[in-house]
Amino acid sequence: MKKLVKMKLRCEVQVSDHQLCIKKPGKAAFAQVSVGRKPGHKDGPIYVMICTAQNRNGTKYVIWKNLKQIFGKFVKDGKATVRFMNPPHDLAFSKANADLLDTFLKVVKLVAQGKGLPDESLSSLAPASLKQVERPVTSLSVMSPSEYPMSFPKSLTKLMICNCRLRRVSPHVLSLNLLTTLDLSFNSLSSLPEQMSQLKSLTSLSLAHNEFVTFPIVLCKTDVRRTLLVLDMKHNEMHSVPSCIKECEKLQSLVLSSNKLHSLPQCLGHMKSLTSVSASDNKLQYLPGSMLRKTWELADFSNNPFNLSIDNSTQAASFAVPSLAEWSARSVVNHEVQFTKEDLDLHSIQYVQGAHFCVCGSACFETSVRATKKRPLWATSAYQGDVPLQMHFCSLRCLKLFNSSKR
Which residues of the chain form contacts with Zn ion (CB under 5 A)?
Answer: 358, 360, 362, 394, 398
Query: How many angstroms separate the Cα of 53 from the Cα of each of 30, 58, 139?
Result: 8, 9, 20
Closest alpha carbon to 64 in 102, 117, 12: 117
Q: Strands of 369-376's sheet, edge to edge?
A: 287-288, 386-393, 369-376
Length in residues, the chain: 407
244 DSSP 8-state letter: G
Helix, strand, or coil (residue 196): helix
Closest contact distance (angstroms) between CB of 359 and Zn ion is 6
Closest contact distance (angstroms) between CB of 326 and Zn ion is 14
In the complex with Zn ion, the residue whose CB is nearer, 302 or 367, is 367
Q: How far apart are CA 292 and CA 294, in angstroms?
A: 6
In the complex with Zn ion, the residue whose CB is nearer, 204 or 362, is 362
In the complex with Zn ion, the residue whose CB is nearer, 162 or 360, is 360
Closest contact distance (angstroms) between CB of 367 and Zn ion is 11
In the complex with Zn ion, the residue whose CB is nearer, 184 or 359, is 359
In the complex with Zn ion, the residue whose CB is nearer, 185 or 372, is 372
Q: How far apart are CA 257 and CA 278, in angstroms?
A: 6
Question: What's the distance, Cα to Cα, between the start and end of the chain in Å?
Answer: 57
Closest contact distance (angstroms) between CB of 373 and Zn ion is 14
Closest contact distance (angstroms) between CB of 352 and Zn ion is 18
Closest contact distance (angstroms) between CB of 294 and Zn ion is 17
Closest contact distance (angstroms) between CB of 365 and Zn ion is 13
Q: How far apart are CA 183 and CA 78, in angstroms?
A: 26
53 DSSP 8-state letter: S
Q: How far apart are CA 379 and CA 390, in angstroms?
A: 18
In the complex with Zn ion, the residue whose CB is nearer, 282 or 390, is 390
Query: How many angstroms separate the Cα of 276 from the Cα of each of 271, 298, 379?
Result: 11, 5, 9
In the complex with Zn ion, the residue whose CB is nearer, 169 or 394, is 394
